[in-house]
Amino acid sequence: MPQRIIIILYLTIFALRPVSAQNRSFTLKVAGIKIGMLEAYHLKNKSFDYYVTRSTVNFSFIMSLKADIKTESLYNDGVLLKATVTSTLNGTPYISRTVWKKNHYDIDCNTYKYTYKDTTLTKPIKWSAGKLYFEIPVAGDEVYTESYGKLGVLTQTGKHALKMTSPKSKQVYYYSDDNLKILKIEVVNGVKNFDMLPNDTIR
């Protein structure tokens, strides 16, 4: 599907009232100290799903970190059509883009100390990081990281936890005993390690 058509769909489908909408919020903490927030949204209109996350971090202890990251992902019939990550880290802007082009993904990712371009990924993407705030995968599922343009396989780590490793970070998702909700997400990366704690249930 040409990029122009995807952009038109992206702008018009969700200008209409969505069939359903959900949102979740998370507090980001280091050693129990709040350093930021993340808001996640899921809009659904027929066969289209639109996921948006917006996170802000403001931290100054030994090192200074100020970040603002927005991730948008558009799916049709469960397959990723387009993902965009726009971010600033201590005043420096970055952008990562992924677009489905008929029979492959056009990937151009740029983030902190990382660049990656690729046109060889032909496998349709069913999971991306932004989707994990609303749906619970299983070990063995492949998850696409919108910032880095790579697929990673979720592995079991503990009884109710899944680990995902991307080129510059690692996330561990902890779930309730019935595997119906996220209890905590641990994030380990090259900038700052932190925990993400849900503020409420999906609404």
Residues 72-90 have pLDDT tens digits of 999 999 999 999 999 999 9
Rg from Cα positions in the chain? 17
How much of the chain, in percent, has pLDDT values that exceed 90? 67
What is the pTM (predicted TM-score) of this model?
0.86
Mean pLDDT of 7-26: 66
Closest CA to 194 of 32, 41, 24, 25: 32
Task: Measure Cα distances from 37 to 54, 55, 72, 78, 194 in Å.
Answer: 8, 6, 17, 28, 11
For residue 190, give Cα distances in angstroms to 50, 143, 177, 194. Answer: 29, 20, 31, 11
- Name the 3-class secondary structure at 10: helix
- pLDDT average, residue stretch 3-18: 51
- Residue 191 pLDDT: 64
- Tokens describing residue 40: 């996640």
Q: Give residue 203's pLDDT.
A: 46
φ/ψ of 4, rounded to 5, equals -60, -40
pLDDT score at 15: 56
CA dihedral sign, ordered 112, 114, 120, 126: negative
pLDDT range class, residue 6, cuts 50, 70, 90? very low
Q: What is the mean pLDDT of residues 178-198?
A: 86
Look at 62-71, 118-127, 144-153, 186-195 and tell me which has the smallest mean pLDDT: 186-195
d(C-alpha 116, C-alpha 166), whole Å:
13
Spatial contact of 203 and 23, defined as CB atoms under 8 Å apart? yes
- Is residue 130's pLDDT more than 50? yes
Residue 141: pLDDT over 50? yes
Res 14: pLDDT: 53
Q: H or E element: which one contains 117?
A: strand 114-118
Higher-pLDDT residue of 105 and 8 is 105
- Residue 146 CA, chain-centre distance (Å), reads 6
Q: What is the mean pLDDT of the chain?
A: 87
